[in-house]
């Protein structure tokens, strides 16, 4: 009941700010040397666990910046292997992770969007991107496409607004044991989606054919498991995940 009153009387945007403040305050008690978060450059004795009812990932969430395994790995890849942080390239960041977003805030050509305006600077539906063709040097679209009803249209739109030579980084939850994406009745309940796809708000669980679903005549795609660039000890210290959520699909527009 108290939860309901809290939700009804305080806006989603303010609730989010309160949540972030409390999280950062709590992180002071978790300082230590066992884990290191590259996105906020802080060390902790543990990361927070993340569970969804059928799976719990220990040491998943940075207690300060809330980066996840995939956020930390993508940040390291972008920092070490791309020029995304040089010379203010034009960037479209879809459903932006705060831990990544803060690294672009000095770039006047950075544009973050979400279907929910409480979670980004601009509201946008990625099946109807209101930018001209060939607009962006980089697009970051991490763990979004599995939630989009018309996924092919979203991919067409992402490809359309990418400049020639531009790069789309797409990530998703992948069933590494399944060749095919599982996609069934869109009207199943969140609990059924959780059981079938691993998250209560996913519309499908991508399989190894995610690369085929991304394919367009003008996109050259590489699948990168960037975890392999780090030692076993580094993988543990940075908590870079098990590969199900962290594969980077690098799509270059040719």
In the complex, the residues that contact Zn ion under the rule CB under 5 A are 37, 39-40, 62, 64-65, 67
Residue 80 Cβ, how far from Zn ion at the closest point, in Å?
17
Residue 132 Cβ, how far from Zn ion at the closest point, in Å?
35
How far is the C-alpha of 204 from the C-alpha of 150, rounded, in Å? 11
Beta carbon nearer to Zn ion, 40 or 205:
40
The DSSP annotation for 77-90 comes to HHHHH--TTSS---
Residue 203 Cβ, how far from Zn ion at the closest point, in Å?
29
Beta carbon nearer to Zn ion, 64 or 210:
64
C-alpha triplet 216, 184, 202: angle, nearest 5°: 75
Nearest to 139 by CA among 77, 91, 96: 91
Beta carbon nearer to Zn ion, 36 or 131:
36
Cβ atoms of residues 205 and 182 within 8 Å: yes
How far is the C-alpha of 31 from the C-alpha of 130, rounded, in Å? 43
Residue 58 Cβ, how far from Zn ion at the closest point, in Å?
16
Residue 41 Cβ, how far from Zn ion at the closest point, in Å?
8
Residue 87 Cβ, how far from Zn ion at the closest point, in Å?
26
How far is the C-alpha of 248 from the C-alpha of 169, rounded, in Å? 6
3-state secondary structure at position 133: coil
3-state secondary structure at position 44: strand
| Residue that is written with structure tokens 């309940």 in the block | 189
Beta carbon nearer to Zn ion, 43 or 229:
43
How far is the C-alpha of 151 from the C-alpha of 158, rounded, in Å? 11
Nearest to 207 by CA among 175, 235, 236: 175
Beta carbon nearer to Zn ion, 62 or 84:
62
Beta carbon nearer to Zn ion, 101 or 213:
101
């Amino acid at each position: 009941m108290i939860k309901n009153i809290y939700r009804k009387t305080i806006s989603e945007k303010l609730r989010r700010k309160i949540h972030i403040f409390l999280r950062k305050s709590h992180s002071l008690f978790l300082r230590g040397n066992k884990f290191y978060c590259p996105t906020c450059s802080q060390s902790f004795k543990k990361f927070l666990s993340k569970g969804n009812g059928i799976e719990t990932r220990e040491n998943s969430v940075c207690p300060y910046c809330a980066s996840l395994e995939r956020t930390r790995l993508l940040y390291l890849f972008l920092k070490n292997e791309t020029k995304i942080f040089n010379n203010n390239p034009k960037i479209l960041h879809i459903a932006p992770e705060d831990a990544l977003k803060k690294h672009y805030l000095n770039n006047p050509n950075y544009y973050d969007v979400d279907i929910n305006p409480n979670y980004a600077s601009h509201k946008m539906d990625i099946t109807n991107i209101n930018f001209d063709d060939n607009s962006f040097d980089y697009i970051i679209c991490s763990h979004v496409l599995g939630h989009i009803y018309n996924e092919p249209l979203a991919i067409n739109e992402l490809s359309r607004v990418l400049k020639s030579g531009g790069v789309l980084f797409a990530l998703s939850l992948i069933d590494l044991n399944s060749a095919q994406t599982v996609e069934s009745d869109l009207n199943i309940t969140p609990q059924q989606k959780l059981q079938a796809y691993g998250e209560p708000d996913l519309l499908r669980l991508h399989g190894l054919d995610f690369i085929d679903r991304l394919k367009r005549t003008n996109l050259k795609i590489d699948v990168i498991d960037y975890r392999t660039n780090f030692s076993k000890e580094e993988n543990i210290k940075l908590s870079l995940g098990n590969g199900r959520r962290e594969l980077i699909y690098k799509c270059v527009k040719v």
